[in-house]
Homo-oligomer: A and B are copies of this chain.
Amino acid sequence: MTPSKRPDEVVLRLPQWLRQFAIDRQVRFDTREARMQFVIDLARRNIEHKTGGPFGAAVFEAGSGRLLAPGVNLVEPLNCSIAHAEMVAIAMAQQAIGSYDLGAGGVFCELVTSTEPCAMCLGAIPWSGVRRVLCGARGEDACAIGFDEGAKPGDWVGALRDRGIEVVRDLCRDEARAVLQHYLTAGGRIYNARGEGPGTGE
With A6-B68, A92-B10, A97-B2 known as contacts, the answer to whether A126 contacts B79 (CB < 8 A) is: no
Contact of A12 among B12, B68, B120, B148 (CB under 8 A): B12
Q: How many copies does the complex hold?
A: 2
Q: Is A180 an interface residue (CB 8 A)?
A: no
A11 touches B8 (CB 8 A): no
Output the nearest chain B residue to A122 by Cβ-Cβ distance.
B123
Per the 8 Å Cβ criterion, residues 71-110 of A in contact with B are 75-76, 78-83, 87-88, 90-92, 94-105, 107
User: Quick check: B129 and A150 within 8 Å, CB to CB?
Assistant: no
| Contacting residues of chain A (94-139) with chain B, CB-CB under 8 angstroms | 94-105, 107, 118-124, 126-129
A94 and B118 within 8 A (CB): no
Residues A146-164 near B (CB distance < 8 A): 148, 150-153, 156, 159-160, 162-164
Interface size class of A (residues with CB under 8 A): 35 or more
Verify A98–B79 contact, CB threshold 8 A: yes
Contact indicator A82/B90 (Cβ below 8 Å): yes
* A4 interfacial by beta-carbon distance below 8 Å: yes
B193 contacts A127, C-beta separation under 8 Å = yes
Given known pairs A81-B90, A90-B81, A129-B81, the reply for A9 and B1 (CB within 8 Å) is no
Residues of chain A touching chain B, judged by Cβ–Cβ distance below 8 Å, are 1-14, 18-19, 22-23, 61, 66-69, 75-76, 78-83, 87-88, 90-92, 94-105, 107, 118-124, 126-129, 148, 150-153, 156, 159-160, 162-164, 191, 193-195, 200
